[in-house]
Amino acid sequence: MPYKILFVCLGNICRSPAAEGVMNHIVAEANLSHLISCDSAGTSSYHVGSSPDKRMTAAAKARDIVLQGQARQLQKSDLDTFDLILAMDRQNYHDIIRLASDEKHQDKIRLMCDFATHHQQTEVPDPYYGGAQGFNLVIDLLLDACQGLLKELEVSSTLQVK
């Protein structure tokens, strides 16, 4: 059974689908797709059913990373389904924690930037109202954090346990 990771942002059209795409790309390059399953969701219902933002898709494509899927809202059942839930910023984190009913669920919720090793940011900034440089920064930050996450999963033997 694969280790299941859920990436969460506000609307599920920029940061979280980018994190999902970046992680899927890194996992595939490491030949670990059979051990790790990724998905994404938003804390709001603003964009349910929408494809990833075209600007984020372009920033990812420039690095040969494919973004796919349709926006969906985070559900309470996701707290049981996923092994790790990664929030893009503190507001997302607090929104997810409020949904969590017990310590077991809360323990699996973390901030995406907890896994970054080269970038100093503590949150993945929302690029929605900015220019192309914001989307590129998000992809760079997610590449760093996802590589750090994969390394931590490999080192902790989490992938062999599942």
Catalytic machinery residues: 9, 15, 126
Alpha helices in the chain (DSSP H): 15-29, 54-61, 78-81, 90-99, 103-106, 132-155, 158-161
- Please give the C-alpha separations between residue 53 and each of 16, 19, 47, 94, in angstroms, as whole numbers: 11, 13, 10, 24
